[in-house]
Amino acid sequence: MKTLGTASVAALRQYVRAAESAGVDINRLFDQAGLDQNILDTDDGRINGEQFQYFIHLLCEQTGNPILGLETGDFVQPGSYSVLGYITMSCATLGEAVARIAPFEKLVGDMGTTSLAMKGDDIKLTWNCNYTDPVVRPQLVDNVFASWVNYARWLADNQEASPSLVKLRRSSPGSEFETAYRERWHCPVTFSADEDSITLKKSLLETRLRQPDPLLRKTLEAHALSQLASLDTDSDLTSKVRHSIQQQLMHGITRQDMVAEDLGMTSRPLQRKLGQEGVSYQKLLDEVRQKMAEDYLRNSELAIPDIALRLGYSETTSFHRKFKAVTGRTPGEFRQLEDNPKALHGCIYGRFLEVCTGLGPAQSLSLTACGLCRQQSADAARST
């Protein structure tokens, strides 16, 4: 049976924001979906596609909203698209941004794939949904298109920018709800169509964006390619082991036998299968631990000994040694640099670059897309 791959935590967060706005009990929703809310604290975490589909299914049931997908599009943010969001922010035109969707959308998740076609004065984006749940599928398509439209308007700083036509495979949610689509998208919407697609005028793609920076874009695209390569090299087993380790570490547990049991086998067959794929349990544990450590230091106020305990270290000194061996900094130094506005400039582009590429503040400063940030740094240098 074909699996549904994975989905980024960034994509999950958008639905969580919508659920909170709708007054849904988030604790109950996560419990029912079999998800740990601590996953929301990670910057680059991923969940199984089956879990994400079930989460959306539960949200549909609990809200009873026939246009849930359309309305969740109101909660899109640049971070909803992971590194792809930041790539598009550094593009010069809307056309450049649109062209980046298909190559990098897997970083957001395996929910579907985009294809582009041009004809005359029009360009058509067709989205092929991979999810199979009949309750989830139409809502997911609605979410994708609504998010695209809202995000494109934000990028272009033009709330009137609109497609010329939207086609949806889903049946009409009822005449009383159809107006919500037209009011949001400002164009004709065809239900029960033979495809899920958005058509745009080519002239719209020439719209200039807020802060173009070709150098930043190339740097982010290089990072995105390395992330894609990592996703491609992970086997289904490796991804499942990483996910299981992450779930256990949220409770301070690092037991290989429990990971094996979670995957329906014992430790020895798990070791053998991982060895056949050129990885080891310890290597995967170290990698997941490191990512979670950086997330905790960056996004929480937990004391360092508490972080060490959560990550399954028996002694804080062991955590210090391991962390410094990987990053060249102690956990305290890492957190101080993240929190110090003089050490890390506040620009969202620069911060993202530092976090995701490993470049130091001085290196990434020259690549930030924010001209204001550059000017502030130059002013500070002249005053010292």
pLDDT, one tens digit per residue, over 156-190 is 999 999 999 999 999 999 999 999 999 999 999 99
Q: Give me the DSSP letters along 143-157.
A: HHHHHHHHHHHHHHT
The confidence score (pLDDT) of residue 378 equals 43
Q: Which two tokens stand for residue 133?
A: 């749940």
CB atoms within 10 A of CB 19: 23
SS3 296: helix
Per-residue confidence band for 323, with pLDDT thresholds at 50, 70 and 90: very high
Per-residue confidence band for 384, with pLDDT thresholds at 50, 70 and 90: very low
The residues with which 375 forms a beta bridge, in sequence order, are none
Which residues, other chains included, contact 122 with Cβ-Cβ below 8 Å and sequence gap of 6+?
164, 199, 200, 201, 202
CB atoms within 10 A of CB 314: 9
Dihedral sign of CA atoms 207, 208, 214, 216 in order: negative
Number of H helices, E strands in the chain: 20, 7
Q: In terms of DSSP bridges, do strands 197-201 and 165-167 run parallel, antiparallel, or are they unpaired?
A: antiparallel
- Could you give the residue range(s) of every CATH 3.90.1520 domain in the chain? 6-206
CATH code for the structural domain at 6-206: 3.90.1520
- Could you give the residue range(s) of every CATH 1.10.10.60 domain in the chain? 214-373
Q: 214-373: CATH homologous superfamily?
A: Homeodomain-like (1.10.10.60)
Nearest-CA neighbor of 163 among 178, 175, 177, 181? 181
The CA distance from 152 to 248, in Å, is 38
Q: How far is CA 153 from CA 179, 260, 361, in A?
A: 20, 47, 31
Nearest-CA neighbor of 48 among 240, 228, 241, 261? 240
pTM, two decimal places: 0.67
The confidence score (pLDDT) of residue 232 equals 65
Query: Which has more confidence, 231 or 60?
Result: 60
Dihedral sign of CA atoms 62, 64, 67, 71 in order: negative
Which residues, other chains included, contact 208 with Cβ-Cβ below 8 Å and sequence gap of 6+?
92, 93, 156
Task: Dump pLDDT digits (tens) for 109-129.
Answer: 999 999 888 888 999 999 999
The confidence score (pLDDT) of residue 339 equals 62
Quick one: DSSP state of residue 110? Answer: S
